[in-house]
Structure 1
Amino acid sequence: MSSRSRITPTVYVSVDIEADGPIPGPYSMVSFGAAVAGRHDSAGFRRAEPLGFYQELRPISERYDPEALAVSGLDRAALLRDGAEPAVAMREFCDWLEEIRVDEAGRRYRPVMVGYPAPYDWLFLYWYLVNFTGTSPFGHSGCLDVKTLYAARAGVPFAGIGKRSMPAELLPDLPHTHHGLDDAREQAVLFANLMEWRAG
């Protein structure tokens, strides 16, 4: 059996979260956005139309760091009043993932979350999914860090990598606004550019 015949079709989903503190549970994810970055199967990688999902969430605790919350520009009182219930939002996100994992030909793809950098976003997203739905459509390890991918593709040390250190042709012509959906779409383009990039 060839290695190509063992490939699991994958849909890459760029996710960006905003939170009011460093860890989930004591602190809250206040918003998150997701955008389809591309599909990867035996035919190779293909960037996708960046279909998106976005939610602002009701905080789950009384604790918050005002500086962390200020990054998102969201108002805590408005979130407490109008934010989506986390359990509802995470179920709706799972439903959205079910829709986008099927392509036009009806083929099913396994979702993998991508982020820049991924650890913080993954920490909150995975915790919220498991805590509020009992499961994660990404499994427990379906996460890909764009900074790590760049380090491997470029052959450079991970320490010190930033967008300013990347070649200009990789960088999206999109603003970084700290709005979950805007930033998820920006990351989706960066990831797709990197997947298509020939270093050197």
Structure 2
Amino acid sequence: MKEIYVSVDVETDGPIPGPNSMLSLGAAAFDEEGTLLESWQRNLHPIIGALPDPDTMAWWAKNPEAYEMTQRGQLPAKDAMCEFAAWVDSLEGKPVFVAYPAGFDFTFVYWYLMRFVGRSPFSFSALDIKSYAMAKLGCGYRNATKRNMPKEWFSERKHTHVAIEDAIEQGELFFNIKRWQG
């Protein structure tokens, strides 16, 4: 079965799921050649009992347009996550979760899927773009930062902190790294 690379980006009101909430979830599905097939996004109501992290909210105060985007058309987390799981299940191929950094985005998405859907269509797996870049560059993990990456890896899209836009941009970054012969 062919793989479908699902580039995922989340926007949150804090560093950890449960005590903090995921505000927005964006995903872009790419085929094995890097063609964007479809995309999906939902904004979520904060979890009952969760509280925004003061440091994260101070960061959002410096990015008000992006924060405003997370507040539009919010759905209950259960509804959004059930829709997301159904969307991933509908993709024609085996889904591979891709993110930058995967440790952050996957933590939120997996936690939300398990809590509100009871399963993850990605199983326990996530592909971290930064780790992939480290291997391609032959450098240490701490040196595999965007400022050290070749310019040709980057998408022409801006990183906006709008989940769907960043999911597409990061998916393009992944495939540019994958194609790089450097």
Q: What is the identity, as a one-letter code, of the residue corresponding to 1:31?
A: S
User: Aligned residue for 1:134?
Assistant: 118
**Which of 49, 65, 88 is the equivalent residue of 2:53?**
65
Change (3 A) 1:20 1:74: same
The whole-number CA distance in structure 2 between the counterparts of 1:191 and 1:37 is: 10
Residues 48-87 of structure 1, C-alpha deviation per residue, up to 9 Å, x if partnerless?
2252100100000341124424157335xx94x9520111
Mean CA deviation greater in 81-90 or 110-119:
81-90
TM-score (norm 1): 0.82
Q: Which residue of 1 aligns with 2:34?
A: 47
Question: What corresponds to 1:158 in structure 2?
Answer: 141
Match in the other structure for 1:38: 31
Matches within 5 A, 1:173-192: 173-192=156-175
- The answer to whether residue 109 in structure 2 is matched with residue 122 in structure 1 is no
User: Which of 81, 90, 96 in structure 2 is aligned with 1:112?
Assistant: 96
Matched, 1:97 2:85: no
How many aligned residue pairs are there?
Answer: 176
SS of equivalent residue, structure 1 residue 74 = helix
Match of 1:106 in 2: none
Give the secondary structure class of the aligned counterpart of 1:185.
Answer: helix
Partners of 2:74 and 2:15 lie apart in 1 by 20
Spell out, residue by residue over 1:84-125, the C-alpha distance to the aligned partner (whole angstroms, 9 max, x if none): 01111011111111222x1xxxxxx21111011110001000
Q: What CA distance in whole angstroms lies between the structure 1 residues aligned with 2:118 and 2:86?
A: 14
Distance in 2 between the 1:35 and 1:96 partners?
Answer: 11
Alpha carbons of 1:12 and 1:166: their partners in 2 closer, same or farther (altered >3 Å)? same
Q: Distance in 2 between matches of 1:174 and 1:118?
A: 20
Q: Which amino acid aligns with 2:137?
A: A
Structure 2: runs of 5+ lacking an equivalent: none
Separation in structure 1 between the aligned mates of residue 83 and residue 139 of structure 2, nearest angstrom: 39
Cα distance per residue 1:19-49 (max 9 Å; x no partner): 101100011000010001332xxxxxx1122
The 4+ residue runs of structure 1 with deviation greater than 2 A are 71-75
Instruction: Kindly indicate whether the alpha-carbon contact (under 8 Å) linking 1:37 and 1:192 is maintained by their aligned counterparts in 2.
Output: no
Q: Partner amino acid for 1:132?
A: F
Per the alignment, in what secondary structure is the counterpart of residue 51 of structure 2? Answer: coil
8 Å contact kept, 2:81–2:112: yes
Contact in 1 for aligned 2:18/2:50 (Cα 8 Å): no
* Distance (whole Å) between structure 2 residues aligned to residue 62 and residue 143 of structure 1: 26
